[in-house]
Amino acid sequence: MAICICVFHKIADEPILYGLAKASATTARGGYNDLPEFIAAAKFLAPPIPYVSNKPTLQSQFANFCHNNQRCVAKLFTFNASTIALLRAKAMSDDVLMPTWVEAVTTLIWKCVILVGVDTGTSKLVNQVNIRRRFVPPLPNHCVGNVVAVATTCKDENDGSDLTTLIYYIRKSLSELSFKYVDKESRDEAIFAIPHDFMELTKGQILGRSLYKLVACVV
């Protein structure tokens, strides 16, 4: 039996989708006392800016671009626990003492893309980041909504492409993202900037810029 879950992205993001799947499995096992409480993220965040437009959005243009572009290829890579542990050890340095498994795997994929010659100049990597735990104070893990931001990591042509260098750049971009949510004033400003960041990301992909997007949400 295969069970599929589909959610409208204006309502929830990937972390909540995973949480719903896990809660459903917990219920099926009879663990009713272990269910999380799903709360609307809107209770904690600033209200959205009203905006209405009948023009095609960049997101819809990008969807059409992907569907009409025969060069788009999807591949699945699987890393077992021992491989990830070895990769994390190789990526360790004085700047990044304890790389996360997401950082290590992301760095390896980015490095491979650079080495095969797809990108010969400035390279940009975009991570979608779950920012619930990056707020001060942090938001509940199961607050429903789109509580995701983008962290863009840049590497110039003359910068190194080894694991330790690339993972340092990724860690730096994630740290800089966290600084945006340390107080209410900067937090609200950062939240209002999230739609603009996503629009810039989509625009870059439509125009064929050197921009690589990893869909895994970084916790």
Domain membership of residue 50 (yes or no) is no
Domain membership of residue 169 (yes or no) is yes
Q: Which 8-state DSSP code applies to residue 118?
A: S
- What's the whole-number average pLDDT of the chain? 76
Residue 85 has pLDDT above 90, yes or no: yes
Domain membership of residue 71 (yes or no) is no
Domain membership of residue 146 (yes or no) is yes
Residue 216 has pLDDT above 50, yes or no: no
Report the CATH number that the domain containing residue 28 is assigned in CATH. 3.30.559
Name which residue leads in pLDDT, 25 or 123: 25
Q: Across the chain, which distance is largest between two alpha carbons, in Å?
A: 57
Q: Report the pLDDT value the prediction gives residue 60, as an integer from 0 to 100.
A: 52
37-64 pLDDT, tens digit each: 888 887 777 666 555 444 445 455 545 5
Q: How far is CA 100 from CA 47, 86, 88, 104, in A?
A: 33, 12, 7, 6
Name which residue leads in pLDDT, 40 or 33: 40
Share of the chain above pLDDT 90, in %: 11
Q: How many structural domains are present in the chain?
A: 1
Residue 215 has pLDDT above 50, yes or no: no
Domain membership of residue 203 (yes or no) is yes
The DSSP bridge partners found for residue 155 are: 123
- Residue 156's SS3 state is coil
Phi, psi for 215 (deg, rounded to 5): -85, -10
Mean pLDDT for 80-107 is: 91
Mean pLDDT for 27-45 is: 81
Residue 187 has pLDDT above 80, yes or no: no
- Give the total residue count for the chain: 219
Domain membership of residue 171 (yes or no) is yes
In terms of residue numbers, what domain contains 176? Answer: 14-45+55-66+77-218
- Residue 104: pLDDT band with limits 50, 70, 90: very high
Query: Would the CA dihedral through 114, 119, 120, 125 be positive or negative?
Result: negative
- Residue 89: pLDDT band with limits 50, 70, 90: very high
- Residue 114's SS3 state is helix
Phi, psi for 211 (deg, rounded to 5): -140, 125
107-135 pLDDT, tens digit each: 998 888 888 765 556 778 888 888 888 88
Domain membership of residue 214 (yes or no) is yes
133-173 pLDDT, tens digit each: 888 788 888 888 888 888 888 887 777 788 999 999 999 98
The pair of three-digit structure tokens given for residue 26, joined into one six-digit string: 């917990």
Domain membership of residue 72 (yes or no) is no
